[in-house]
Amino acid sequence: MGKPGENRPVSLFLDAGRGKREYVPQVQALSVHMNFESRAREDEPSVVNPGRRRTDGPESVRVLRPRRAAPADAVRPTRAEVNLAALRHNLRVIARHAGTAKVWPVLKADGYGHGAPAVARTLERAGAEGFCVALLEEAMELRDAGVRAPILVMGGYYGGAYEEIVARGVVPVVYDRSHLEGLARASRLVGRPVEAHLKIDTGMSRLGVRMADLERFAAEVQRYPEVRIVGLMTHLACAEVERDHAEAGFTDRQTAAFEEATRRLERAGVSVKVRHAANSAAVLRGQALFDMVRPGIAIFGVSPLASGTPELRPVMRVRSEIVDLRTLEPGESVGYGALFRATRPTRIATLPMGYADGLSRELSNRGHVLVRGKRVPIVGAVSMDMSMIDVTDVPGVSLRDEVTILGTQEGPLGKDTLSAEEIATRGSTIPWEILTSISRRVPRFYREP
């Protein structure tokens, strides 16, 4: 625990289950957080109709839940604070940009590292009408957490677990005949039709029916009446680029192709209720809004646009504490490979956060953190569990001082912010990777300021 009065939450609301919030004084937060984490049946596989053997195919496929941090990890001072009010604020900002389009936040990769169940429950209560994830496993995790809104599984690699999709009311994305076959078979077994969205490749060249194959796929769809195609989707490849960029017209071309695909599919007998294409960048630009939008990064308060989006509020803050302090003589080195060498008497502080927690090794000798409200450099190589920082120029620095790795810190020496965008630039990556890299051994604490 840090020093009293420093940048730690004063109180916490933990999202303790469907519709239930618990007020938790700071001193109790650790144990309640542990309960929250351990309540999830993360190690148990999910089996549809356990004990029953399928007659027309392989045995029911077991969908494993993603693993969460072990409760014992929560004693460490390195943790991520998730601001639920900022999450709701960002949803409102995005809804305003989306106009009449419905907002289905993208919560893949554990809600961009924020903890998908708690994020989904908060956004569902705040009015989000559906969610998108990449994996079936992620959809199951949300269902197990009590989320009732529709969940679109965008990836399409179901590993044969079609029965689970139908039974748990998840909305699958289809783009291959095997999806239609599997869903139709599961639909017959479960005894109800299944609604799906069809993915079209308009330029991403990743997943989806190719433009040249639309009529052929529409003919396949007609063969499986158990599968109702209610939505059309595509994914934009260049929504972030600025006006003067070589690919500035890419989104317009993709949008035009999507319109063309809609017309051709309609002529071939596939008419839908909903179409969607927009990620965060497109929503914020008001492009390709259609009937529904799929914002990810903007929900978490990070702008995908180089020009920034000041209305958004960052949701995650990552903090740790100084666990060791030493003074080096000139000439002494720091860390693996002796990548940093002191040129003056140097105060080195150690923080218990390394690349296995999501502090990229790219930030060795390049990144910064905040101590007592002041920006200080990361020195030497970031190692697996720990990193060292140079606090020579931080008067009054002491053991247990809070260190802010991501977010804002205010202290006796000032106030500063390390944004995901800035860290990404320093680490030669993108903010999406910064957020999703904060690993599961960093406990998440949910704040309701």
Ligand X SMILES: Cc1ncc(COP(=O)(O)O)c(C=O)c1O
Residues belonging to the active site: 108, 336
Instruction: Please report, as residue ranges, which positions from 209 to 248 form the binding site for ligand X (by CB under 6 A).
Output: 235
| Closer residue to ligand X in complex, CB, 239/359 | 239
| Closer residue to ligand X in complex, CB, 185/235 | 235
Of 286, 264, 288, which is closest to residue 277 (Cα–Cα)? 288
Q: List the beta bridge partners of residue 81.
A: 317, 445
Residues near 439 by beta carbon (within 8 Å), at least 6 away in sequence: 356, 357, 358
Region of residue 17 (phi > 0: left; psi between -120 and 50: alpha; otherwise: beta): left
Whole-angstrom distance, CA of residue 17 vs CA of residue 37? 11
Phi and psi torsions of 260, nearest 5°: -60, -45
In the complex, minimum distance from the CB of residue 427 to ligand X, in angstroms, rounded to a whole number: 18
Residues near 317 by beta carbon (within 8 Å), at least 6 away in sequence: 80, 81, 83, 404, 406, 407, 408
Instruction: Please report, as residue ranges, which positions from 311 to 330 form the binding site for ligand X (by CB under 6 A).
Output: none
In the complex, minimum distance from the CB of residue 301 to ligand X, in angstroms, rounded to a whole number: 12
Find out whether 175 and 198 touch, Cβ atoms under 8 Å.
yes
Tokens of 449: 């300021």
| Closer residue to ligand X in complex, CB, 17/155 | 155
Contact track, ligand X, 151-190, x by CB under 6 A: ---x------------------------------------
Total residues contacting ligand X (rule CB under 6 A)? 12
Find where tokens 């390390």 sit.
418
Whole-angstrom distance, CA of residue 326 vs CA of residue 397? 11
In the complex, minimum distance from the CB of residue 445 to ligand X, in angstroms, rounded to a whole number: 23
Report the residue closest to ligand X, judged by CB: 296
- 437 part of the interface to ligand X, by CB under 6 A: no
| Closer residue to ligand X in complex, CB, 200/413 | 200
DSSP state of 7: S
| Closer residue to ligand X in complex, CB, 255/280 | 280
Whole-angstrom distance, CA of residue 104 vs CA of residue 110? 15
Whole-angstrom distance, CA of residue 114 vs CA of residue 118? 8
Q: List the beta bridge partners of residue 407.
A: 418
Whole-angstrom distance, CA of residue 299 vs CA of residue 316? 11
In the complex, minimum distance from the CB of residue 441 to ligand X, in angstroms, rounded to a whole number: 24
- 275 part of the interface to ligand X, by CB under 6 A: no
Candidate residues 7, 60, 262, 279; the one interacting with ligand X per rule CB under 6 A: 279
Candidate residues 86, 106, 171, 238; the one interacting with ligand X per rule CB under 6 A: 106
3-class DSSP assignment, residue 195: strand
In the complex, minimum distance from the CB of residue 124 to ligand X, in angstroms, rounded to a whole number: 18
| Closer residue to ligand X in complex, CB, 281/394 | 281
Residue span binding ligand X (CB under 6 A) among the ranges 163-171, 277-285, 319-327, 421-429: 277-285
Rg of the chain, C-alpha, whole Å: 24
In the complex, minimum distance from the CB of residue 137 to ligand X, in angstroms, rounded to a whole number: 16
Instruction: Please report, as residue ranges, which positions from 289 to 308 form the binding site for ligand X (by CB under 6 A).
Output: 294-298, 304
| Closer residue to ligand X in complex, CB, 83/90 | 90
- 280 part of the interface to ligand X, by CB under 6 A: yes
Instruction: Please report, as residue ranges, which positions from 43 to 82 form the binding site for ligand X (by CB under 6 A).
Output: none
Strand (E) or helix (H) holding 284: helix 280-285
| Residues within the interface to ligand X (CB under 6 A) | 106, 154, 235, 279-281, 294-298, 304
